[in-house]
Structure 1
Amino acid sequence: METKGVPLIDMQDPHGLAEKLVKACEEWGCFRLVNHGIPSTVLSEMKVVCRSLLDLPFKIKQGDSPPGPGQRYTPLNMASPYFEGLNIYDMASPGAVDDFCTQVHASPHQREIILKHSQALFELAKDLGGKMTEGLGLGGLEAFKDWPCQFQMNKYNYSPESVGSTGAVMHSDPGFITILQDDELVNGLEVVNKFTGDLVSVDPIPGTLVINIGDVGMVWSNGRFNNVKHRVQCYKATVRISIALFVLGPRGKGVEAASELVDSEHPRLYNPFDFEAYRKLRHSTNSPTGEALELFRAALPIDS
């Protein structure tokens, strides 16, 4: 296991912040964010809410949620015997959080915390997106503010027998960017160093957040950003909690590289594609680390 950690970026440091974010996205596709502006009380209260909701009876968690991207509950299964999750798909759409809270019988206090926490992550995602576009020389465009987001609460149920096992298999995230509140007490997240192929443990730091670039992020940046491969391992026999916001893909139009990042020296690497169709293709072709992107690889121009 390599000892050098992923980059640590201070969101309140104004000196070259946009450039530091882009460099971390290019070299790692992953970094830890400090001084992000979300109060520690909101983070700690959300962790309590997450644990309490995922401790609910199966019938309440499952409800009448249909299978697919919008399903509310992901139960323990053969592929992930230790992991379960609750999801709010397109959490920024009107009523999405309230509908979810009603379905799982959340208390008024739980509802307040979920709203406060998910909205804070959503605003942070827009801020990060603006800084990244600025760092790429695109003028800090609010390129991602209308993209659908998925808010997810995760619980890993580890026992003494599961120590050393994999809680979440190696994968890349399908969307653009993931903001992760990992468990400050229980380690387990490991990312792949793209230069060496080594697994690097992303050790928790209380009050911070982990940022991951996904497949859409790599396509949108025309290959500059790294869609980081990562997994979750069981280090000890206890419950591990994490909460994530996934910024997915553009609504109503194809995923493609920003035109400003395409020129004669940097030809377009991928043809445009629909995000939801791509997510289904990842599943149907068993492509957890983005292998299905090769199906959209653009033909390189022939030198004259």
Structure 2
Amino acid sequence: MKPGTDTWVAACEMVRRGFEDHGCFLAHFDKVAPNLINSVFCAMEQLFDLPLQTKRRKTSDKPNHGYTGQVPTSPLFESFAIHNPSNRKHCQNFSNIMWPTGNHHLCESVNEYAKLLQELDRTVKRVVFDSYGLDKVKCESFLESTDYSFRSYKYKIPAMDESNVGVNSHTDSTFITILHQRVDGLEVKLKDGEWSAIHASPLFCVLAGDAFMVWSSERIRACEHRVILRSNVTRYSLGLLSYSAEIVQTLEDLVDEEHPIRYKPFDHYSYVGFRFTDEAVKCTSRIKAYCGI
């Protein structure tokens, strides 16, 4: 898809409308081959099958970038993160922590998958910049300041007397989250307040996070979503999440009378850490509690 073509112009309209109305859209991205997707899901099943004490070896100095599991409010949920996975060394370091001799299959699969989804993420952001008529130089600078995190998620089958809520309703702290599922469960809240199930398919669900909402002066909605488990199979899903390595702030070009500045500039990873504090959990809007004006 090349800038300036009819396909590009149509994509600008659809992506912008999806983000502004619902905070999300579905993307067809056939560069990610089915055999690669199968390979990544297979590697993730092996990863989550490791003993708990092994999984807990994965820690990070960045908040919410290690192993997450055994959380009382989300007992069915586990997750791993690999920071900037398009760098093969980061994937190798991760596999060396989990296995004594590493895991070549996981390293190669995740690295290739992340590179492709990073390309999708960057294309989506270029489309957004173009749809608002923003400067291309600013766009490239924005892209260069982006950090990525590969996330894998596991949701075990709930017991008969257990809630089927995999993850409660929330928005992400990210700029963009790209999710892929092979078992139904993901639901998004639409503009009219209704919940809509996103069915498992080859399509990727692209969600705007809190940071994108702040950047756009609330032109873009942060997508509220949740996971509800309705199948009798263990659910695995994959995600690529984008963050800013620099200070997040509202772009002045997008500020007007209808869209005034509503948030103070903030450090992205500090905000990620705040979201898991007792203070934040009690808030209706964590981003407004953290940096709202």
Deviation at 1:176, TM superposition (A): 0.5
SS of the residue corresponding to residue 103 of structure 1 reads helix
Match of 1:56 among 40, 43, 50: 50
2:27 aligns with one of 16, 27, 33: 33
* Map of 2:215 onto structure 1: 220
| 1:246–1:162 distance in 2 versus 1, CA, 3 Å | farther
Number of corresponding residues:
281
Q: Does 1:115 align with 2:111?
A: yes
Residues in 2 aligned to 1:288 and 1:112: alpha-carbon distance in whole angstroms: 41
Which has a greater percent of helix? Answer: 2
Greater CA deviation, 134-143 or 107-116?
Answer: 134-143
Q: How does 1:50-129 map to 2 (within 5 A)?
A: 50-63=44-57, 65=59, 69=63, 71-92=65-86, 95-105=89-99, 106-129=102-125
Structure 2: 5+ residue runs without aligned partners?
A: 1-5
Root-mean-square deviation over aligned CA pairs: 2.3
- Could you report, residue by residue, the CA deviation over 1:3-44 in whole angstroms, capped at 9, with x for unpaired residues? xxxxxxxxx944511121111000011111113522222112
Instruction: Report the equivalent of 1:258.
Output: 251
Moved segments of 4+, more than 6 Å: none
Aligned counterparts of 2:283 and 2:29: Cα–Cα separation in 1: 30
Q: Which moved more, 1:264-273 or 1:146-155?
A: 264-273
Alignment of 1:11-30 (within 5 A): 13-30=7-24
Separation in 1, partners of 2:30, 2:58: 36
Deviation at 1:162, TM superposition (A): 6.4
Tell me if the contact between 2:166 and 2:227 (Cα under 8 Å) persists in the aligned partners: yes
Give the direction of change, closer, same or farther, for the CA distance of 1:79–1:18 in structure 2 (3 Å limit): same
* Structure 1 unmatched ranges of 5 or more: 1-11, 299-304
C-alpha distance after superposition, 1:228-274 (max 9, x if no partner): 111101102210010101102x213x211112112455322212111
SS in 2 for 1:293: helix
Counterpart of 2:56, as a letter, is Q
Partner of 1:166: 165
CA distance in 2: counterparts of 1:22 and 1:210, whole angstroms: 15
TM-score (norm 2): 0.87
Which residue of the partner structure matches residue 195 of structure 2?
199
Once residues 96 and 268 of structure 1 are traced to their aligned partners in structure 2, the CA distance between those partners, rounded to angstroms, is 37
Question: Structure 1 265/40 Cα, relative in aligned 2: closer, same or farther at 3 Å?
Answer: same
